[in-house]
């Protein structure tokens, strides 16, 4: 009796393993991927890519429009200060502050411009269209997966480029130009008060611009880079991590965190 029960149980295990194995479909790993990735079921790989792209697309959109808002608020504030000095009656430093605030106003338009032009184009919509057209990848699973891998690899490459050292260099060059204009005005001023006003504005406005530029660079979307690296290693468990976005508020700026 015990032998028969053991035999039935053994057969059940064999059938279960055979069924599980038969139901799994694997595809070759892309360039850079290893055997661990190739051994994972194609449906699991497709789901990872789909969810990762969706997450990054939402963050990239939030980042872009938040910084458009920040840049717009900065532009408006700088323009208002310029107009305030125009309407003022300070006979000594009025013109110096008008010039400096007009310069800051012209430079502040770069913040929303950078957000609009350099926000990564996460191709989550293209992936969604592909899956809808192929019955969630049922029509040629490996071909669908290969196309999704190509799309996500491009997303990661684009994020890596926009978040590279080039962003830091570009930001420093812009701020260097801002400082140089005001420093030149200070160096050529004949009045001590006017010279001091230009230097004060040069230091304060450049410092504020540096903080704003670093925050914009620090919060740039870069999650696709790490997700694709994990994907190539076959580490498909979704990781929850905090992401931070600077958003404009009535009182200034605030940092929003999501987990």
Asked if residue 122 lies in contact with residue 62, where contact means CB atoms within 8 angstroms, the answer is no
* Each residue's pLDDT tens digit, 47-67: 999 999 999 999 999 999 999
Closest CA to 216 of 142, 108, 132: 108
CA atoms within 13 A on the CB side of 102: 9
Asked if residue 234 lies in contact with residue 39, where contact means CB atoms within 8 angstroms, the answer is yes
> So what's the pLDDT on residue 58?
96
> So what's the pLDDT on residue 90?
81
Domain regions of the chain by residue span: 34-258
* Each residue's pLDDT tens digit, 92-119: 888 899 999 999 999 999 999 989 988 8
Asked if residue 154 lies in contact with residue 233, where contact means CB atoms within 8 angstroms, the answer is no
> So what's the pLDDT on residue 93?
87
> So what's the pLDDT on residue 91?
79
**Angle, vertex CA 236, rays to CA 43 and CA 147, nearest 5:** 50
Asked if residue 122 lies in contact with residue 8, where contact means CB atoms within 8 angstroms, the answer is no
> So what's the pLDDT on residue 238?
66
**Angle, vertex CA 214, rays to CA 160 and CA 53, nearest 5:** 35
Closest CA to 55 of 259, 196, 210, 195: 259
> By three-state DSSP, how is residue 89 classified?
coil
Residues of the chain with pLDDT under 70: 1-24, 238-259
């Amino acid at each position: 009796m015990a032998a028969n029960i053991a035999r039935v149980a053994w057969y059940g295990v064999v059938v279960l393993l055979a069924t599980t194995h038969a139901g799994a479909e694997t595809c070759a790993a892309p360039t850079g991927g290893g055997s661990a990735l190739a051994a994972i079921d194609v449906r699991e790989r497709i789901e990872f890519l789909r969810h990762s792209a969706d997450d990054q697309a939402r963050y990239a959109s939030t980042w872009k429009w938040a910084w458009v808002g920040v840049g717009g608020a900065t532009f408006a504030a700088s323009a208002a200060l310029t107009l305030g000095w125009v309407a003022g009656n300070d006979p000594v430093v009025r013109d110096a502050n008008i010039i400096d605030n007009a310069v800051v106003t012209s430079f502040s338009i770069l913040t929303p411009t950078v957000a609009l032009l350099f926000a990564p184009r996460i191709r989550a919509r293209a992936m969604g269209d592909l899956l809808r057209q192929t019955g969630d990848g049922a029509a040629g699973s490996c071909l669908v997966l290969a196309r999704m891998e190509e799309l996500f690899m491009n997303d990661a490459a684009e994020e890596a480029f926009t978040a590279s050292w080039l962003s830091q260099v570009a930001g420093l060059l812009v701020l260097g130009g801002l400082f140089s204009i005001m420093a030149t005005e200070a160096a050529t001023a004949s009045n001590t008060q006017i010279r001091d006003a230009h230097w004060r504005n040069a230091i304060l406005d450049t410092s504020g611009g540096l903080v704003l530029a670093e925050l914009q660079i620090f919060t740039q979307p870069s999650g696709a880079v790490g997700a694709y690296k994990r994907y190539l290693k076959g580490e498909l468990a979704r990781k929850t991590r905090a992401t931070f976005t600077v958003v404009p508020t009535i009182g200034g700026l605030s940092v929003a965190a999501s987990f």
